[in-house]
A = this chain, B = another copy of it.
Amino acid sequence: MAQETYDKILDVCKRRGIVYPSFEIYGGLGGFIDYGPVGSRIKQNVEDLLRRHYVVGDGCFEVQCPTMSPEEIWVASGHVKGFADLLVECKKCSEGYRADKLLSEVGVEAEGKPAEEVGRLIREKGVACPSCKGTLSEPYTYNLMFGTTVGTGSKRKTAYMRPETAQTTYLAFRRLWEFARRRLAFVVIQIGRSFRNEISPRQGMIRLREFSQAEIQYFLDPENKAAPRFPEVSGRRVKLTDKNGKLWETTIGEAHRQGIIPLEFIAYQLGKAMAVFEDMGVDGGRLQLRQHREDERAFYSSDTWDVEYVSDVFGRIELVGIADRSGYDLGQHMKASREDMQVSLDGRKFLPHVIEVAYGIDRPIYCVLESSLVEDGERSYFRFPKRTAPYLAGVFSLVKKDGIDAKAEEVFALLRDGGLYVFVDHAGSIGKRYARADEIGVPYSITIDYDTIKDGTVTVRERDQKSQSRVAIADLKSRLTC
């Protein structure tokens, strides 16, 4: 069942230019994907939707920093030392594996345990190489950052591709503080690529070595982490798992009142993120909240939550992580760079606290695909909502003669010049063209026929209602965008 769903999604994705593996002609390389013509439109719509919610709606500042950055940053942030997995290699075929993954397959939880203990567990349980049954090496620490070198000669510096955007946002804190005219709270979003050298990524869009993120940093006064807009989301019903693994079904407001989500600000952001995902077209009924366990949470974080999606194919997928990072990161960069990151406000001098809302982009897009998939007899297609759909409408000529096709081009040009993403298609029967448009989730099909030439109206077919109506060309743009 799960495999079947996935195969259908992959089939449409590859055939119709949504996503496909990168470097296919060279045999591919795990953890890298291309967004095709349709997928790029969806990705942009998802990013624009995040901008509408956070930049336009909430007044976030947006920044764009380099993805390559010098070693000092990642020493200060703790990534050079700590951003690592335990790896074992097969002594026979040299294939590498994450040690905790192999142990979890035999029912042993090893995440976060020291290398010696993990090595002992592997020997005890007789875990061998899954592909050739060879003996495995002792586990060793393997940093997940991609390293490179900038410059040449004695001036060359070790650098890393960033494993997250957050640190690069923090570096310019003083400039952002000035830009915010020395007031808290202010908010900064960065949308861009990050990189992790995953050992053997095998999950399509879910675990990528190069991926996109939208990470939002709220710089707050530690004495004021209130969320005045909390009432907007507090009534939302949620399923949640707390740090002790206990399951709850309640509202976000109730979860906060009962102390399950102690911080109002985090509770608000969780509710807001769920609304954002639904807006994209992710099935809200499959969203759940999960609090990180004490032993899983970074030591400087007082509380961390994920919004997860329950996938038919991949099980639980983390879509956004919301963490109170305290003043830790600014403090680390202050120590390492000797630049004062403290602010003076109302007679106090302090390090602002950061609450981070860290969205993946690729995973939510996958969840939109899975949530939008409709299996209708022989056909599979995507029912994307208008705001995520790659094109708003297709324009079709009923026949390719008598000026009908020219009129279709004219209607297409009118909508296009009005700034709408539309396409025109003259090839094949109308039924086939509807089907092609359905497959990539286009909400409207516009047909130009003999009446169009007589009275200037067109047939608008709505994918979801499967209803058809006649609309005057002059009213078309407002009808499609209403």
Contacts and interface: CB of A to CB of B under 8 A. Distances in A.
Contact of A95 (B155, B193, B210): B155
A142 B151 CA distance: 10
Contacts of A179: 16-17, 36-37
A328 interface: no
Contacts of A420: 56
Interface residues of A, number: 89
A176 interface: yes
Contacts of A172: 20, 24, 34, 36
A23 B70 contact: yes
A10 interface: no
A72 interface: yes
A193 B39 CA distance: 18
Contacts of A176: 17, 36-37
Q: Which of A17, A37, A63, A69 has the most CB of B within 10 A?
A: A37
Interface string A55-78: 111010111111111101100000
Contacts of A197: 149-152
Interface in A179-228: 179, 181, 188, 193, 195, 197, 199-200, 209-210
A34 B14 contact: no
Given A16-B179, A172-B20, A34 B65 contact: yes
A230 interface: no
Given A23-B171, A146-B149, A175-B14, A157 B29 contact: yes
Contacts of A120: none
A66 B32 contact: yes
Nearest to A47: B44
Interface in A125-151: 142, 146-151
Given A41-B62, A150-B146, A68 B195 contact: yes
A83 interface: no
B151 A25 contact: no
B34 A63 contact: yes
A302 interface: no
B29 A150 contact: yes
Contacts of A154: 93-95
B150 A36 contact: no
A252 to B, nearest CB: 24
A229 interface: no
Contacts of A69: 22-23, 29, 32
Contacts of A43: 64
Contact of A419 (B40, B56, B181): B56
Nearest to A60: B37
A152 B23 contact: no
A30 B70 CA distance: 11
Contacts of A299: none
Interface string A290-303: 00000000000000
B210 A67 contact: yes
Nearest to A191: B40
Given A24-B172, A68-B161, A209-B68, A199 B63 contact: no
Contacts of A148: 146-148, 161
A450 interface: no
Nearest to A418: B56
Contacts of A150: 29, 31, 146, 197, 209
Contact of A171 (B25, B149, B421): B25
B72 A26 contact: yes
A107 interface: no
Contacts of A423: 59
Q: Which of A17, A26, A32, A67 has the most CB of B within 10 A?
A: A26
B171 A73 contact: no
A123 interface: no
A337 B152 CA distance: 32
A176 B38 CA distance: 11
26 contacts: A22-B69, A23-B70, A23-B171, A24-B175, A25-B174, A25-B333, A26-B72, A31-B150, A32-B69, A35-B63, A35-B64, A35-B65, A36-B63, A36-B172, A37-B62, A39-B64, A56-B416, A56-B421, A68-B161, A89-B152, A148-B148, A150-B197, A150-B209, A151-B199, A151-B200, A181-B427
Given A22-B171, A36-B61, A151-B197, 11 more contacts: A17-B176, A17-B179, A20-B172, A23-B171, A26-B171, A26-B336, A36-B172, A149-B197, A151-B200, A152-B197, A155-B200
